[in-house]
Structure 1
Amino acid sequence: MIGILTFIIVFGILVVVHEFGHFYFAKKSGILVREFSVGMGPKIFSHIDKDGTAYTLRILPLGGYVRMAGWGDDTTEIKTGTPASLTLNQDGLVTRINLSQKRVDNKSLPINVLSYDLEDKLEITGRVLDETKTYSVDHDATIVEEDGTELRIAPLDVQYQNATVGGRLMTNFAGPMNNFILGTVVFILLAFVQGGVQDTTTNHIQVVENGAVAKAGIKNNDQILAIAGKKVSNWSDLTDAVDQSTKELKSNQTIPVTVRSGKTTKTVQVKPEKSDGSYFIGVRPGLKMSLKDKVFGGFQMAWNSALAIITALKNLISNFNINKLGGPVAMYRMSNQAAQAGFASVLYLMGMLSMDLGIFNLIPIPALDGGKILINLIEMIRRKPLKQETETYITLAGVAVMVVLMIAVTWNDIMRTFF
């Protein structure tokens, strides 16, 4: 249960923070944000603010999304003959189009819709008491969709395509940018939770609770001087010594570890623990604990994480292997393991995943933010936008690739996890 809860919280925070970046800069660029949703699926709660954004809370606590006017699959489809009801103001302008049977307004005008234009001409035509009538629609009118969600209509002047290219570029970049900011903040918080940042230049160590060296009586901030006769003066020496001394290790065999605790030096027998084909003795690098070290260390951890992710991505491109990718199932497995290891491990996982999400979204695939940014840059160079149809086809191709890849990755995760 704790693993599921950790997965929901971590995944939810990552996605909502990402989407908030798009939301904030879209509004700054004059783009109408029709909906900002926390969660997915059926709506639980909705509120429209004075700027026309519907803030919704949905039943499945898995991330969220931003629905911008004219962006992606944001469309309002009304089939011919659809029954609806219109709310008119004192000037005869339609201020509300209700397509839902869940929210009946007895004072509204019933109509069967024949045609509509809610982007340019702002009008709706339909049958009213066996008579065909056309009504003008107010620029800031709302439409109640079939599921009961009430949104602003999306006239052309507030659509994504009509914002400046710079505004669109910033709107697309803001999602990954927010993930980088979140990742850095989380790593700084992790440094404070840990009491400091790792210092790999020393042989002082931190002990993993219930790990191999903890069972042998070694404590936090002790110095490991040697492992199986191999001298240790820093973290690199320590990991090399562990690798060398466990290469031909037999079951239940121990290795000698020389340790200094205060003024006392002693040698104890440690039984390494095997996990995923490698041996571990249950230690982490020692800590630097000043305020400056913690803050700077948080930035350093974020930077190192980003470099590691970029390196892994380059290796994946040069030598593709689907086992190197992970989807929601893999993320749940990592969340469960982190939850079992404690709060610091959850923070580390969140920081890594936030940096990962930011970098992944900058890949120039049309379905991702990076693809949209590439289109924005092309428009800047050409000094004119791509044809709407061309951009749509490119985006659909990218979506198709991402859907196929996600299905393959998720299936592979399931097979690796459960079979």
Structure 2
Amino acid sequence: MLAWIAPLIVFGIVVFVHELGHFLAAKAVGVYAPRFSIGFGKTLWKRRRGETEYVIAALPLGGYVRLASKEDEATAFLEGGNENSAASASPKDGWDPDAMIPFGPKPIPENRWMESQSLWGKLLIMLAGVTMNLILGYLVLTGMFIGYGQPYLSTRADSLLANRPAAQAGMHAGDSILTVNGEPLKDWDALLRKVGASAGVPLALGVIRDGARHEFTVTPVGEEGLNPETGKKETAGKIGIIGRAGSTRIPVGDAMAAGARATAGMATSVLTSLKQLATREVSAKELGGPIAIAQASVQAARGGFEPLLLLIAFISINLAVFNLLPIPILDGGQILIMLLEAAKGSPFSMKTREYVLKAGLGAILLLVAFVMYNDIRRLVQTLFGV
């Protein structure tokens, strides 16, 4: 059951936290927020508390916080306070005839418009969503380090890939590699470094099997791939061994530090991936969208609670970094517009804003269409082998 609702859990938590950040910041600054919605489309549930209507909609692929704006009459007067909009509004559109109760038939006070806030107030609202996503990722990762311990790979072979150098040399699953060319190994990373730097060069591996010492000569095969540290394509030696995973308990302070490092590492990897896409080091065909995320969610849930938590942290941090891109309609694009207006000394005209936002929306829709195409292509290949 968990596997089937996993996509809703992942999307719901990540989007809820992001929009909650915008909402809480808007409330703190004093901007009027008539609606807080998780999802789009038909309203499944709604409840009004105070001056805000809380909504859960049918499509959990996003969400929004509606903020009062002088440029949007429907928002500035909030339907119920404007007789003209009240006459034309339809309950099917999610119209709330009581939305203006806090102010009666009067327009929203000017000091509660988004535009009336200081630059720092507006930046706080826009940055709050990505900040909450980073905090969520950090808290989940730190909680995992506290609950599950510090993960590691030992130099004991959990499995061997068939027809690869280690298997061909006679090594077995369960063998523990102690030395390389007579030098003791400290950990799995040390083994990776030695093997990676020895493509085509025979290595003498000292191994313990069932308490007995053995030695195997293995020649790593050079394979081209991306270096996770530099993000560049490099040729590294491989011998076809998968290390056995384990974990060790660590103090809470160390877990908090490890959570910070893991959060920074994930954020950096997103930036590295974007750079590789821009420079064509990685094919855009590797991009995934909602279907890919849903599939990953189901697979993670089938693997247990730990992989699902890791996926939530990963997607939350990805969303934070992606939202900071300077593309109009994303948080980063809105921040850029605010900074340009501050430098200009006056706001852009509504027509200019519309053009810019339409261009940003077009770019996002093209990206969504492309990743959906990738998702469907991979799904068809998986189902039909074509």
Q: Tell me how many residue pairs correspond in the alignment.
A: 340
Q: Is the aligned partner of 1:13 residue 2:6?
A: no
1:146 to 70, 87, 92: 92
State the TM-score, normalized to the length of structure 2: 0.74
From the superposition, tell whether residues 183 and 292 of structure 1 become closer, same or farther in structure 2 (CA, over 3 Å): same
Q: Is the aligned partner of 1:364 residue 2:326?
A: yes
Matches within 5 A, 1:401-412: 401-412=363-374
1:350 to 306, 312, 320: 312
Greater fraction strand: 1
Q: Distance in 1 between matches of 2:16 and 2:340?
A: 29
Unaligned runs of 5+ in 2: 101-106, 162-171, 217-224, 226-237, 382-386
Q: Distance in 1 between matches of 2:378 and 2:130?
A: 29
Matches within 5 A, 1:14-413: 14-50=14-50, 52-70=51-69, 76=74, 118=77, 124=83, 145-150=91-96, 152-153=99-100, 155=108, 157=110, 158-198=112-152, 205=154, 216-217=173-174, 224-226=177-179, 232-240=185-193, 258-259=207-208, 266-267=213-214, 279-284=240-245, 287=248, 289-319=250-280, 321-413=283-375
Match of 2:92, SS?
coil
From the superposition, tell whether residues 62 and 364 of structure 1 become closer, same or farther in structure 2 (CA, over 3 Å): closer
Unaligned runs of 5+ in 1: 78-116, 127-136, 138-142, 199-203, 249-254, 270-276
From the superposition, tell whether residues 123 and 55 of structure 1 become closer, same or farther in structure 2 (CA, over 3 Å): closer
Q: Distance in 1 between matches of 2:369 and 2:183?
A: 48
Residue aligning to 2:222:
none
| Offset from partner CA, 1:45-101 (integer Å, 9 cap, x none) | 222222x110122344444322222399x7749xxxxxxxxxxxxxxxxxxxxxxxx
Match of 2:46, SS?
strand
Q: Distance in 2 between matches of 1:309 and 1:245?
A: 29
Q: Is the 8 A contact 1:3 1:336 kept in 2?
A: yes
Aligned-partner residue type, residue 83 of structure 2: I
Q: Distance in 1 between matches of 2:255 and 2:269?
A: 21
Match of 1:281, SS?
strand
The alpha carbon displacement at 1:265 in A equals: 6.0
The alpha carbon displacement at 1:305 in A equals: 1.3
From the superposition, tell whether residues 148 and 294 of structure 1 become closer, same or farther in structure 2 (CA, over 3 Å): closer
Match of 2:329, SS?
coil
Match of 1:152, SS?
coil
Residue aligning to 1:114:
none
State the TM-score, normalized to the length of structure 1: 0.69
Q: Distance in 1 between matches of 2:241 and 2:301?
A: 20
Q: What is the RMSD of the two structures over their aligned residues, measured on CA atoms?
A: 4.0
From the superposition, tell whether residues 71 and 183 of structure 1 become closer, same or farther in structure 2 (CA, over 3 Å): farther
Q: Is the 8 A contact 1:288 1:294 kept in 2?
A: no
Greater fraction helix: 2
